Chains A and B, each alone.
Chain A
Amino acid sequence: MRYFLQKLGFYAVALWAALTINFVIPRLMPGDPVDIMLSKLATKGPVSPATREAVEALLGADSSASWWQQYVDYLHALVTGDLGTSVAYFPAGVGEIIGQTLPWTVGLIGLSTVLSFVIGVGLGTFAGWKRGSWLDNLIPFTTMLQSVPYFWLALLLLFLFGSVWSVFPLNGGYDVWTYAGPELSWGFVGSVIQHGALPALTIVISSIGGWMLGMRNMMVSTLSEDYIVTAEAKGLRPARIRMAYAARNAVLPSVSGFAISLGFVVAGSIVTEAVFSYPGVGSALLMAVNSNDYALMQGVFLVITLSVLGANLIVDLLYGLIDPRTRART
């Protein structure tokens, strides 16, 4: 119980620290939202001194309030679930923007992270089980793909499969020429899958190497353990030794790695979404940074913070399930 409370206390402090940093960092960036909005207006037409007053009135004058006051307001708004109004997408609320973009990111990046973990760990298991087989030769190749800069790989695949062979669409989350908006139909789902396939493929290709290498090496060292020899001596089926004895123990470090990468699903999507014009949280964050949209930035960071902490919490609990040793320690 004490261990549980300690954990919970740690997560609470981490959350508070993250929220505070989240509050401070956007305010240290150069430029303020009123000026940014004015500069953008000025590129479209004349801006008079009255414009400044208008924009200030529009955004509310709270940029002149003291930092402490802003900080209290910020925490109070968070507790009440009010994420504020976006400047970049004015007058839409931050909650609305995140609600619109988050499903796309979680769907695409989340699924491909799970997919690359499952495939990578699966291949790694077999590569470690049968050392020196053809699967082993796959490892240097996949590690090489992982070390290639992601955006370059993505652009290359987009160029080949999108432009040259026209196998996959070039951009977007679904076929906007056919569907007026998201709808519940097989055609639409198909379109979403078709549009998500290439970005997902690039993520899987570029991250599979790490999972595979890690799992393979853990398998190799686990296979030299005494209990494996015992299991073999007992005459258990090889498949059972492989999965229940070797893989189950070897997968532990990968699971903690998986927790971290799950947490970064939201944060890691910026480049993917930029290359494929995918309508997710990453492009909203990019837009927010470009417009000094504090509220939207804070909203997205909040989602990132929550997902990192949440994923870690879940894995902490999950660990207890797959590794009985952690359960024993009370």
Chain B
Amino acid sequence: MFLHTLSRSTRAVTATAALAAATLALSACGGGGGGGSTGGGDGSITIFNGATGTITENFNPFSTTALQPTLGVIFEPLYYYNLAADVDPEPLLATDFSWNDDGTQLTITTRDDVTWSDGEPFTAEDVAFTFNLIQQTPALNTGGIAATAEATDDTTAVLTFPETSFMQEPQVLGNQAIVPEHIWKDVADPTTEVNSDPVGTGAFAVKSFSAQSYVLESNPDYWGGEPKLKQVRYVSLDNADAASASLVAGDVDWMSAFLPGLEDIIKGNQDISYVNTPALTTVMVACANADLGCEGPQTDPAVRQAIYHALNRDQLNNLAGGGFAAPASPTMLLPDRDKKWIADPDQVSIPQAADTDTAAQILDDAGWTAGSDGIRSKDGQRLSLTIQTVTGWSDYISLNDAMTQQLADVGIELKPSQVSWNEWSAAQTGGTFQLSLDSIGLGASSNPYFVYNKFYATDNTVPVGESASAGNASRFSDPTVDAALETARSTSDEAVQQEAYAQIQSVITEQFPYIPIYTNSMLTEFNTSRATGWPTAEDTYAMPASWKSWDNGQVLKTITPVG
């Protein structure tokens, strides 16, 4: 998402999309340039993961600004959670785990044949050390992990939580890199440590670093066997145009960005392929809760329902999504991956055509009557809504324009506004907006708890004017949802959880504090002449996006260099 954001925002600075497309099409016809790339057959690939400008060295796995391959490629978690598919977590540094009955104690069995890249053996002591360090250092605890840990023998670590914590499982197992105790116990200040010579258990280790690029090389002693890929280079490019030109020239082998005219590039260059793994739902966030200070017609649930029904999503996908977007689910889960969690089969995906009759009926029933200019009003309030998006996010801007026309058909006036990313973000977390375009999804695991808790829980919201950075920007609050979340949180029984989520789904598909539009495309482009074995639409063994931290590690140890 970071890359997506960056590439979209910088697009505006540099160029018109038309020129970019022309650049791509023409250079593709020219046989792919050749650029300054060496390589081919030397077992190395080059990755653009969204890094722009100067790269600063930071391989500290606790740091929020660590270089992306720090997590998953150099350091590993206990388990790998694949958010691209409905599969069980894959064991990495752990081989087994179990909870006690009330969810306060997690016993982890660690792998016994792992060594750190400096040759020292990896043990359960390292696992215990890592979690204790986090617990003792609030500034490191970005995941909110409250466990204290103890290693009972070389391969067993026991984590003790102060309260029922089943839902901490993916955070603890899949989202925390384990660090070597023998090195980190001597680190003076782990919050500002840049860890320039990182010792990890991952399949790759740092070879060289500079402010413009850095190189990782394969770890010959990796517990899973040395990767076939010998060398990985990460480069920094300032914008999407530079990235796409580099892809076509063969300078970059792996990147993720929405490229205008992608089909033309593929046609002209047989070495380049792409995979589309939609995973984030594009939504209109509505400031929905008048009790917490939201103002405007969107605080009326009928208005949000009407918008939901009035959108022609096929048209939106063609006009704004480049045809790459997939249907979303009104339950805010992913139609393919999360089918088992969606209670009502009718709610697996949204009908793609507009249902203007239903929309008009809902508004009529709620007392919104059409005025002389075709726009409805109620008690003197015009049904006119402002929707904000970020300057330069061209697909969202087209989305707003198309929706303005579609909603006018049912008597809703939509007024798009474009603001800077900072302003957009500040308005959304502060609640000073009516509608806002954003994308949501990608929790700690595919369990719906993470999406529902973050975006719908009363605990995660605050009155307008305060910063709702915990996630619930809509200020949505509903006792049924809160109770169901409590139920889901206190059990590891999937059947009980399913029932709780069904209750949540019935509320949110009536209320629509977030109005789903579509599951946005996530396009990743590869150069297959340098390496093969990339994730495909059929085999999503990892999320293919080049900016996705843990998944990167899985991809890099799976792909095979050509030649």
Task: State the A residues within 8 Å of B (CB).
Answer: 29-32, 34-55, 57-58, 86, 88-92, 96-97, 100-101, 151, 155, 159, 162-164, 166, 169-182, 271, 273-279, 283-284, 286-287, 290, 292
**Beta-carbon nearest neighbor of B454 in chain A:** A46
Contact present for A31 and B36 (CB under 8 Å):
no
Contact present for A90 and B239 (CB under 8 Å):
no
Q: A55-B142, A88-B65, A176-B210 are in contact. List 6 more A-B contacts (CB 8 A).
A: A35-B429, A40-B2, A91-B60, A92-B56, A159-B19, A172-B235
Contact present for B27 and A275 (CB under 8 Å):
no
Contact present for B425 and A101 (CB under 8 Å):
no
**Beta-carbon nearest neighbor of A156 in chain B:** B19
Bound: A151/B11 CA distance, A: 12
* Chain B residues near A273 (CB-CB < 8 A): 53, 238
Return the contact of B14 from the options A49, A58, A274 (Cβ within 8 A).
A274
Contact present for B213 and A274 (CB under 8 Å):
no
Interface presence of B484 (CB below 8 A): no
* Chain B residues near A47 (CB-CB < 8 A): 142, 454, 469-471
Bound: A96/B211 CA distance, A: 11
* Chain B residues near A163 (CB-CB < 8 A): 23, 26-27, 30, 33, 245, 248-249
* Chain B residues near A48 (CB-CB < 8 A): 143-144, 470
Return the contact of A290 from the options B38, B192, B422 (Cβ within 8 A).
B422
The interface centre, meaning the residue of B38, B241, B422, B429 with most chain A CB atoms within 10 A of its CB, is: B422
* Chain A residues near B471 (CB-CB < 8 A): 42, 47
Bound: A182/B241 CA distance, A: 25
**Beta-carbon nearest neighbor of A50 in chain B:** B144
**Beta-carbon nearest neighbor of B6 in chain A:** A290
Within 8 A of A (CB), among B158-191: 171, 175, 191
Bound: A41/B64 CA distance, A: 7
Contact present for A177 and B46 (CB under 8 Å):
yes
Contact present for A36 and B454 (CB under 8 Å):
no
Could you show 29 A-B contacts with beta carbons less than 8 Å apart? A42-B469, A42-B471, A44-B549, A49-B144, A50-B143, A53-B141, A54-B141, A90-B58, A91-B193, A96-B56, A97-B56, A159-B23, A159-B26, A163-B27, A164-B26, A171-B246, A174-B212, A176-B210, A177-B37, A179-B210, A180-B215, A181-B210, A274-B238, A275-B238, A277-B52, A277-B236, A279-B53, A279-B212, A290-B9
The interface centre, meaning the residue of B36, B191, B251 with most chain A CB atoms within 10 A of its CB, is: B36
Contact present for A171 and B469 (CB under 8 Å):
no
Bound: A239/B138 CA distance, A: 75
Within 8 A of A (CB), among B1-60: 1-2, 5, 9-10, 13-15, 19, 22-23, 26-27, 30, 33-39, 46, 52-54, 56-58, 60
Contact present for B54 and A166 (CB under 8 Å):
no
* Chain A residues near B65 (CB-CB < 8 A): 88-91
Smallest beta-carbon distance B163→chain A, Å: 14
* Chain A residues near B442 (CB-CB < 8 A): 45
* Chain B residues near A32 (CB-CB < 8 A): 426
Contact present for B19 and A172 (CB under 8 Å):
no
* Chain B residues near A35 (CB-CB < 8 A): 425-426, 429, 467, 469
Interface size on B, residues (CB 8 A): 86
Contact present for A177 and B39 (CB under 8 Å):
yes
Within 8 A of A (CB), among B205-244: 207-213, 215, 233, 235-239, 241-242
Bound: A178/B46 CA distance, A: 12
Within 8 A of A (CB), among B246-267: 246, 248-249, 251
Smallest beta-carbon distance A273→chain B, Å: 7
Bound: A176/B46 CA distance, A: 10
Interface presence of B140 (CB below 8 A): yes
Contact present for B212 and A31 (CB under 8 Å):
no
* Chain B residues near A42 (CB-CB < 8 A): 469, 471
Interface presence of B450 (CB below 8 A): yes
Return the contact of A45 from the options B9, B36, B192, B444 (Cβ within 8 A).
B444
* Chain B residues near A58 (CB-CB < 8 A): 64, 139, 191
**Beta-carbon nearest neighbor of B420 in chain A:** A30
Contact present for A177 and B233 (CB under 8 Å):
yes
Contact present for B423 and A30 (CB under 8 Å):
yes
Return the contact of A283 from the options B2, B54, B192 (Cβ within 8 A).
B54
Q: Mark B421-447, 1 if CB is under 8 A from A, else 0.
A: 111011101000000000000111000
Task: Name the 5 nearest CB pairs between A and B, nearest first.
Answer: A181-B210, A50-B144, A48-B144, A283-B53, A43-B1
* Chain A residues near B302 (CB-CB < 8 A): none
* Chain B residues near A86 (CB-CB < 8 A): 56
* Chain B residues near A37 (CB-CB < 8 A): 64
Contact present for B251 and A31 (CB under 8 Å):
no
**Beta-carbon nearest neighbor of B134 in chain A:** A54
Contact present for A90 and B64 (CB under 8 Å):
yes
Interface presence of B194 (CB below 8 A): yes
* Chain A residues near B213 (CB-CB < 8 A): 176
* Chain A residues near B210 (CB-CB < 8 A): 176, 179-182
Bound: A287/B421 CA distance, A: 12
Bound: A48/B443 CA distance, A: 11
Return the contact of A57 from the options B138, B248, B470 (Cβ within 8 A).
B138
Bound: A21/B305 CA distance, A: 48
Smallest beta-carbon distance A114→chain B, Å: 24
Smallest beta-carbon distance B494→chain A, Å: 20
* Chain A residues near B5 (CB-CB < 8 A): 43
Bound: A276/B238 CA distance, A: 8
**Beta-carbon nearest neighbor of B211 in chain A:** A100
